[in-house]
Amino acid sequence: MSKTHGLGRGLDALINGDLRKTESPEKTTGALRLLLTEISTPPWQPRQGFAEEAMEDLIRSVKDRGILQPLLVRKRGATYELMAGERRLRAAGAAGLKDVPVIVLEATDEDALAVALIENLQRQDLNVIEEAEGYRVLADKFTLTQEEIAARVGKARASVANALRLLALASPVKAMVAEGRLSSSHAKVLIALEIPAEQVLFAERVIKDGLSVRQLEQAVEHTRRTPRKPRAVREDIPETHVKYLSDKLHQHLGTAVRVHPTRTFANGKKAKGTIEIDFYSNDDLDRIIEVLGIQGDDL
């Protein structure tokens, strides 16, 4: 996308100013019409799910009155790709319609993505996780600041910032928020917990016990102040073999050697191992280097 228009000033600006409408031989009174089979949906649509009850209401409305607001599409070879209006497209199919009204725009990939994101983010029925994902794409792909994103989608900067913070949560917690089982206010409290498993545990407690936001804050604060038990850890080399290796290296190098093997934590992560070799002068260091078989030319 060209930097000159900087993602437009919102959806209306993209449609009316920065993108050009294109004609089609299927033009009818008030709008072009396309068969549903001619329209494909791109993989980067920001919406991941649709509320069943809201979709049923929309389907009933489409059956009664048809599609009142044209979909936005762009030409892609012999077919057309949807840019905005996926709910209406799905409702049209469910209502048994064969074609829908559209506005065909000339748009680059970035233009199409911007229109889809802004159109969806300006609606009220995205869940907060879908919102946050959309904001992240606008920030990453178009290098927009939070202030710029807020201006494009008509939201307060604080709303954008708070939504983006939720993306740091563990995946199961984000799913709970997206499904409406956990409020975004509760989820924001859980961000203070650095361990994903703890976030999930507290989220499940909120759902099971009906904890208020204040009660959750108190529980999280208590957990953060409580000294943590040492994590379960296993040495990867038995102690007897470590002593054997240390003794052999001591004999070979003529100085004290300490071997610290790698360790495996309960979560499967590894801690590095080390070998410490003592020396007491530059001459002693030269002697050890020579024993190790390292030539002067290699240094």
What tokens were used for 150? 């807020």
* Residues belonging to the active site: 86
**The two structure tokens encoding residue 275:** 């070998």
Contact 271, 230 (CB under 8 A): no
DSSP 220-240: HHHHHHSPPPPPPEEESS-HH
Instruction: Give the 3-state secondary structure of the chain.
Output: CCCCCCCECEHHHHHHHHCEECCCCCEECCEEEEEHHHEECCCCCCCCCCCHHHHHHHHHHHHHHCCCCCEEEEEECCEEEEEECHHHHHHHHHCCCCEEEEEEEECCHHHHHHHHHHHHHCCCCCCHHHHHHHHHHHHHHHCCCHHHHHHHHCCCHHHHHHHHHHHHCCHHHHHHHHCCCCCHHHHHHHCCCCCHHHHHHHHHHHHHHCCCHHHHHHHHHHHHHCCCCCCCEEECCCHHHHHHHHHHHHHHHCCCEEEECCEEECCCCEECCEEEECCCCHHHHHHHHHHCCCCHHHC
Give the Cα separation of 178 and 127 in Å (integer). Answer: 6
Helix (H) or strand (E) holding 72: strand 71-76
